[in-house]
Amino acid sequence: MRELSCTWARHLPVARAREAKLRTRMPHWARGGTPHLTPTYAHPPSPPRPHTPCSQSTWNLENRFTGWVDVPLTETGEEEARRGGRALKAEGFQFDMAYTSVLKRAIKTCWLAMEELDQMWLPVTNDWRLNERHYGALSGLNKAETAAKHGEAKVTLWRRSYDVPPPDMDPSHEFYPGKDRRYAGVALPATESLATTGDRVLPLWNGTLKPLIQSGKRLVIVAHGNSLRALVKHIDGISNDAITGLNIPTGVPLVYQFNAAFKPIPQPGAIGPLSGRYVGDREAILREVQKVADQSKAKK
């Protein structure tokens, strides 16, 4: 789930009985601020893999730049996480393991979704590389107020451009993560663009997650809006320009499938430029996508 833009990124597997049917029908099956959920399956053919953004956090509700600040879910966010889990259960998804970030909003999204799936026994790996993008000096600021001060175009550039980062966070900043023991040994960024977020997400994908999927493991990845944007940009080959307009809603599972060459198979009902499909009501999901897009608009 997305964070909630913890986004269900966000890989959703199908039940084993259904897998057998799918394999006979389809010769080529092919996979992560609020967390997102993404299920993944083995190949060939690969079962669906869901990515889930984490659900709504308290700072999502307050429209603040969250990034690496470790804020909790709201009651609405907890229900988003449970709803995402129920949606996966309704389609018969079974998983072998889960991956999520080291931020509590994504971790709890994962727990609540797994509870609804009745798969709380699954091993969960926490990796800081799935964290939300680091918003630097913007961390903690209200997005609409920041847009009113600096202009919507500038804030949209900071939030949605591919390679333009916000201003650096100084070590004296209230939310500087350098003294947090969960990041011991990590070369901390002072800020991140989507490009530099991808620089940490993709080694995890290529070195760990992709080989697990290729070995037949069914993964669910619960991460955040921008760590998932970086991931799907790579999976779907989205251009630097097109990724600017991609918004991932919180708490909605996003399912990918891959063929034998590990290329994503376009899913029925997918919303471009993604080849994966969101699990849930299409019109409701489009409304949630628009809410994410509206976050950087100045208050009228």
For residues 75-85, give the mean pLDDT: 93
Q: Which two tokens stand for residue 77?
A: 């966010």
Bridge partners of 221?
A: 38, 99
Q: How far apart are CA 32 and CA 83, in angstroms?
A: 17
Dihedral of the alpha carbons of 112, 113, 116, 122, in degrees to the nearest 10: -100
Per-residue exposure over 142-162, b if at least 16 CB sit within 10 Å of its own CB, e if not: bbbebbeeeeeeebbebbbbb
* pLDDT at 233 (0 to 100): 97
In a domain, 148, yes or no: no
* pLDDT at 297 (0 to 100): 58
Reported as a pLDDT band with limits 50, 70 and 90, residue 25 is very low
Taking all residues of the chain, what is their mean pLDDT, rounded to a whole number? 82
Instruction: Report whether 209 contacts 221 (CB < 8 A).
Output: yes
Q: How far apart are CA 42 and CA 19, in angstroms?
A: 10
pLDDT in tens, 225-254: 999 999 999 999 999 999 988 988 888 999
CA distances from 235 to 27, 51, 117, 128, 300 (A): 20, 12, 26, 20, 38
Within its chain, how far is the Cα of 165 from the centroid? 19
Q: Which domain holds residue 105?
A: 16-135+193-291
Longest dimension (CA), the chain: 59
What CATH number did the domain enclosing 232 receive? 3.40.50.1240
Indicate whether 33 pLDDT > 80.
no
Reported as a pLDDT band with limits 50, 70 and 90, residue 35 is low
* pLDDT at 56 (0 to 100): 60
C-beta pairs of 264-267 under 8 Å, 24+ apart in sequence:
264/30, 264/31, 264/235, 264/236, 265/28, 265/29, 265/30, 267/48
Indicate whether 27 pLDDT > 70.
no
* pLDDT at 273 (0 to 100): 95
* pLDDT at 16 (0 to 100): 34
How much of the chain exceeds pLDDT 70, in percent? 78
Name the DSSP letter for residue 115.
Answer: H
202 Cβ partners below 8 Å, 6+ apart?
230, 231, 234
Candidate from 17-26, 91-100, 171-180 with smallest mean pLDDT: 17-26
* 3-state class (DSSP) for residue 37: strand
Of 116, 101, 104, 97, the C-alpha closest to 49 is 97
This prediction's pTM = 0.81
For residues 83-107, give the mean pLDDT: 95
Indicate whether 23 pLDDT > 60.
no
Reported as a pLDDT band with limits 50, 70 and 90, residue 118 is very high
In a domain, 39, yes or no: yes
* pLDDT at 54 (0 to 100): 57
Q: Name the amino acid, one letter, at 127.
A: D
Highest mean pLDDT: which range of 32-41, 138-147, 187-196: 187-196
* 3-state class (DSSP) for residue 131: coil
* pLDDT at 280 (0 to 100): 83
In a domain, 64, yes or no: yes
* pLDDT at 283 (0 to 100): 85
For residues 24-36, give the mean pLDDT: 34
Bridge partners of 100?
A: 126, 222
In a domain, 251, yes or no: yes
State how many domains the chain has. Answer: 1
In a domain, 86, yes or no: yes
Cβ count within 10 A of residue 115? 13
* pLDDT at 298 (0 to 100): 55
In a domain, 187, yes or no: no
- Pairing state between β 49-53 and 254-256: antiparallel
In a domain, 169, yes or no: no
* pLDDT at 28 (0 to 100): 26
* pLDDT at 62 (0 to 100): 76
Reported as a pLDDT band with limits 50, 70 and 90, residue 286 is confident
124 Cβ partners below 8 Å, 6+ apart?
97, 98, 99, 100, 107, 110, 114
pLDDT in tens, 122-161: 999 999 999 999 999 999 999 889 999 889 999 988 987 8
